[in-house]
Structure 1
Amino acid sequence: MPLSLFWSKALRSAMVAAGHGLPVFPLAPNKLPALRSPHPGELCRGECGLLGHGVHDASADPDRVHHLFKSAPRATGYGIACGAPSAWVVGVDLDRKNGVDGVAALEGLAIRHAFTLTTTVTVLTPSSGLHLYYATPAGTVVPNSASRIGPGIDIRGAGGYLVGPGSWTPKGVYEAISDPHVGIEPVPATLLDLATAEERKTPRPAAVPEPRDGTAGGDALVRFVLEAPDGELNNRLFWAACRAFEQHQDGEGIAAELLRAACDKGHPERGAARTIDSAKTRAGRSVR
């Protein structure tokens, strides 16, 4: 099927989501933003007025959505921005792959913490995982996390996004499976508490291969992030950024490349930038 047909379907589906007040933006077949950044490596979130800032381009305005898709003719899907002040939606991304079952993990979490998983808008992913959409109280900032509250349970909050239903990827189509009359329901209070709780430990891989000479070049650090296995991206980003600031004069430049690499791997930009800032603070303490 020609990509133009996938583009048309993605646009129609995105317009439906926008009609429900959800901010959307075009995605490429690899599920990354379809519009390239006008200044790679910088932390601009769209203040420049140009397109190409990923989730920060998202809008529910029909004219804006049309403009975004016309600027991205190779888009085959769309992202729904989470944690946006216009919608206050949090996404629960339940993975089922590599021996991990996020659906079962969430059900187990609900049993252990005695809360009910409210029926809400649900999307089936090509890997048989699920995306659950929940509404959060206005003003609640939910951080992004990967397998922090449970194996295979990723939280998409401020600066994050979910691939919208109707999107096409080489692995398959994202399909809404909830009753059409079901809306986005409020997030269970206990689940919200778990998602917003601060991590008790500084993120760091359990075992990191230290270079023999005690240092790692910028290219090696970027490659280390790009080769991160599922569930280890944020940990590897933190470790690599610490090494960049501790061992290199051009720590800021390498950090910018690490940010780009993490975003290319699917890490929400805001969360990646926060991880790098934490690494910079830690590195600053260690070199005093």
Structure 2
Amino acid sequence: MATIDRQTTTLALAHALSAAERGLAVLPLSRTKLPALRSPHHTDPTPAGPRCHGECGRFGHGVYDASTDPARIRELFAAAPWATGYGIACGLPPYHLIGVDLDVKTGTDASAALRELALRHLFTIPETVVIRTPSGGRHLWLTGPPDTVVPNSAGRLAPGIDIRGAGGYLVGPGSRTDHGTYTTAPGTAHLPPAPCPPSLLRLLLPPPRTGRHPSHRAPDDHGRGLIHFVLTAHEGQRNTRLFWAACRAYENGLGPTLTDPLTEAAVHTGLTEQEARATIASAARMTARHP
């Protein structure tokens, strides 16, 4: 079994290096599709500020470990000999990759939902790289403009359609998981990732804010740090991070000033504006009771 595992890891590394040659930043994944390397901060006390994204110089920061440097990639896989696959970081140059994940496990036809969106919003789904998942789903690879940050989202576009953008990653073809192997759909391996249609791109971005009076006070360094802390939240952390940041803002007298920027940051990560404002309001009530 150990020999098979070593062979699987060697094959995953080969696929990862091949992807890196195309300019795609990669990181090792385990059979569960999660980053193979555990955070070096898992025993740290609750952080008092923005989370480390690799500034400490150690491995184990998830998508922030991703690299196109062959030497670094080999080091990552050497540190994770149990890796059976690799992830491809989205939102990074040169492609600024956007992944459209069409799921089949939700009981909905995500492909049909995407076609319906294309008809309704007058865009064509381009020919591009398509990855088949072990469950029968598909990942479409698209590229975005370098000055546009596409947030991750789950089901916001339509049921069964998840978006992988900045701070997210896609499981690379050739990766083996507990449920099977990811493969490139026939006839798409030679294609470059296609540009995201402008009409679809607009659907992927948070709605523009209107009717708001700009704050007369720009956030200071501490305020910008809190906003960054929310912006870098992954799915499952968004409400917790937003609540923590809002509490710190109100404790430091920045609550009213940062309400709109924190809301915008939370919406950027995939929360709805209603959810974000409710969380911030809870933080305001909490800090009012416990000054």
Q: Normalization by structure 2: what TM-score?
A: 0.72
Aligned residue number for residue 117 of structure 1: 125
Aligned residue runs from structure 1 range 22-171, under 5 A: 22-40=24-42, 42=47, 43-171=51-179
What does the per-residue CA deviation read over 1:196-226, in whole Å, with 9 as the maximum and x for residues that have no partner?
Answer: 13399xxxxxxxxxxxxxxxxxxxxxxxxxx
The answer to whether the Cα contact below 8 Å between 1:135 and 1:186 also exists between their aligned partners in 2 is: yes
Q: 1:127 to 1:286 in 2, by over 3 A?
A: same
What does the per-residue CA deviation read over 1:33-63, in whole Å, with 9 as the maximum and x for residues that have no partner?
Answer: 0001000265111111111001000001111
The answer to whether the Cα contact below 8 Å between 2:9 and 2:83 also exists between their aligned partners in 1 is: yes
Q: CA deviation at 1:148?
A: 0.1
What does the per-residue CA deviation read over 1:88-123, in whole Å, with 9 as the maximum and x for residues that have no partner?
Answer: 111111111131222221111111111100010110
RMSD of aligned C-alpha atoms?
A: 3.1
Q: CA deviation at 1:243?
A: 8.2
The answer to whether the Cα contact below 8 Å between 1:31 and 1:77 also exists between their aligned partners in 2 is: yes
The answer to whether the Cα contact below 8 Å between 1:88 and 1:135 also exists between their aligned partners in 2 is: yes
Aligned residue number for residue 198 of structure 1: 207
Which 4+ runs in 1 deviate beyond 2 A? Answer: 178-181, 197-200, 236-247, 270-288
Q: CA deviation at 1:272?
A: 8.6
Q: 1:279 to 1:88 in 2, by over 3 A?
A: farther
Q: Which SS does the other structure have where 2:156 is aligned? A: coil
The answer to whether the Cα contact below 8 Å between 1:245 and 1:283 also exists between their aligned partners in 2 is: no
Q: 1:119 to 1:284 in 2, by over 3 A?
A: same
Read off the aligned partner of 1:149 and give its amino acid letter: L
Q: How many residues align?
A: 233
- Provide structure 1 residue ranges, at least 5 long, that are not aligned to the other structure: 201-232, 248-269
Aligned residue runs from structure 1 range 267-286, under 5 A: 271=269, 281-286=280-285
Q: Normalization by structure 1: what TM-score?
A: 0.72
Q: Which SS does the other structure have where 2:281 is aligned? A: helix
- Provide structure 2 residue ranges, at least 5 long, that are not aligned to the other structure: 210-233, 248-267
Match for residue 182 of structure 2 among 174, 183, 188: 174
Identity %: 48
